Chains A and B, each alone.
Chain A
């Protein structure tokens, strides 16, 4: 069996792409187009995602219908905010390529680049 995290990602990915609530049966059928996977496995992982606070669910007839609590974009924005955040001790946890800068500082960078170009040029 694949790792739990990968299955979780597969389920979330489908629900985000479809942009509508879906039953476990629909998700299993879609995954089964690529590879065999038991209904109970997907059902278990969907319940885990529900318990972790990633999915909402409601009854539709006898089956549970699942939908993401937040959009993929909302999660991405939260991650970016954490990574680029201004917190003093953030750099130790998440090393990002360039820190956020004020327009003045970006201007100073541009000037440094332009000066170098002029020196390289004819």
Chain B
């Protein structure tokens, strides 16, 4: 039996139903790191599923059985059966699934390189124009608009504008710097690049669309939580508002979106982390979900 229908059904569940479920759950904003891992695991699972389904559809039927024995063999699920001799057709059947995986990986590498190029260009100017402050561990930029950002990755930089230094209290500044340090230490740009690569490959798929947006918001929440280890929530919330109000353009055009509002509300209504049992089962599910398609592909071959 061909496992393609089962795999495609599973792809539908992961690509359409799972993101709806995650969006409606309350726990992701309370355990943002786990939620990022879940979105990435779902994306990996979807990629593997589509690749396996493509393989099943591409493999010629008369060779399918031998293929699946081969697949099982490579899964280590059969004993005694020797690996079948691959024919030209079976070899060609590897091309579509390889393309699916290579597309996602290729977009990821492209995204990482593009970000690195942008940052390296930015950093070269920044190092000549800004003032390094050893006390802040940041580069100060002479500009009256309040802003703080970071260049993650290789040779990272944290940047604060002179306007932000004037605007923020010592505690607020400390919170903002801790937030930016968390982005750098957590290598958040790689998770963003992964979300971006998946979104570029699978475009309008709900998992791709929501995954990318949610990953961005959740990474900000992770950084917010790191800042909360050093400063009280009111201080971080006030810093967020002051920076947003100070940098708001005069015209009524929205650039940002509601992510800052979601973060602020989350800060102001503290919620406990989800129960350990929930966190544990989500972690197990996130680890298992990329492996399920392999299991489906293997098992449905024998019956």
CB of A92 within 8 A of CB of B149, answer no
CB of B147 within 8 A of CB of A97, answer yes
CA distance A105 to B253 in the complex (A): 10
**For window 68-107 of chain B, which residues contact chain A by CB distance below 8 Å?**
none
Least CB distance, B95 to chain A, in whole angstroms? 30
CA distance A72 to B237 in the complex (A): 32
CB of B147 within 8 A of CB of A9, answer no
Least CB distance, A76 to chain B, in whole angstroms? 5
B118 at the interface (CB under 8 A from A): yes
B129 at the interface (CB under 8 A from A): yes
> Across the interface, which residues of A come within 8 angstroms of B189, CB to CB?
92-93, 95
Among listed B17-25, B33-41, B242-250, interface-contacting one: B242-250
CB of B260 within 8 A of CB of A109, answer yes
A78 at the interface (CB under 8 A from B): yes
CA distance A95 to B118 in the complex (A): 12
Least CB distance, A105 to chain B, in whole angstroms? 6
Least CB distance, B267 to chain A, in whole angstroms? 9
B145 at the interface (CB under 8 A from A): yes
CB of A92 within 8 A of CB of B193, answer yes
Main SS at interface, chain A: helix
Least CB distance, A107 to chain B, in whole angstroms? 9
CA distance A72 to B240 in the complex (A): 28
CB of A102 within 8 A of CB of B254, answer yes
Residues of B within 8 A of A (CB): 111, 114-115, 118-119, 122, 124-130, 141-143, 145, 147-152, 159, 161, 176, 179-180, 183, 188-189, 192-193, 196, 216, 219, 234, 237-241, 243-245, 247-249, 252-261, 264-265, 268-269
> Across the interface, which residues of B come within 8 angstroms of A103, CB to CB?
248, 252
Residues of A within 8 A of B (CB): 5, 8-9, 12, 54, 72-73, 75-80, 82-84, 86, 89, 91-106, 108-110, 112-113, 115-116, 120
CB of A80 within 8 A of CB of B143, answer yes
Excluding A9-B128, A95-B219, A113-B238, 15 further A-B contacts by CB distance (< 8 Å) are A8-B128, A75-B125, A75-B128, A79-B141, A84-B149, A92-B111, A93-B189, A97-B176, A100-B248, A101-B255, A104-B254, A105-B260, A110-B245, A113-B237, A116-B268
Pairs of residues from A and B, 7 with the lowest C-beta to C-beta distance, nearest first: A99-B256, A96-B149, A116-B268, A93-B118, A102-B254, A97-B148, A93-B115
A9's nearest neighbour on chain B, judged by CB, is B128
The one of A79, A94, A115, A120 in contact with B129, judged by C-beta atoms closer than 8 angstroms, is: A79
How many cross-chain pairs have Cβ atoms below 8 Å apart between A and B? 161
B145's nearest neighbour on chain A, judged by CB, is A80
CB of A101 within 8 A of CB of B254, answer yes
The one of A12, A75, A77, A110 in contact with B241, judged by C-beta atoms closer than 8 angstroms, is: A110
11 CB < 8 A contacts A-B: A54-B128, A75-B129, A79-B125, A83-B159, A95-B189, A97-B240, A99-B260, A100-B255, A109-B260, A113-B268, A116-B237
Least CB distance, A110 to chain B, in whole angstroms? 7
Q: A83-B149, A113-B241 are in contact. Are A95 and B188 (CB under 8 A)?
A: yes
Q: A103-B252, A112-B261 are in contact. Are A92 and B192 (CB under 8 A)?
A: yes
B237's nearest neighbour on chain A, judged by CB, is A113
The one of A54, A75, A80, A106 in contact with B244, judged by C-beta atoms closer than 8 angstroms, is: A106
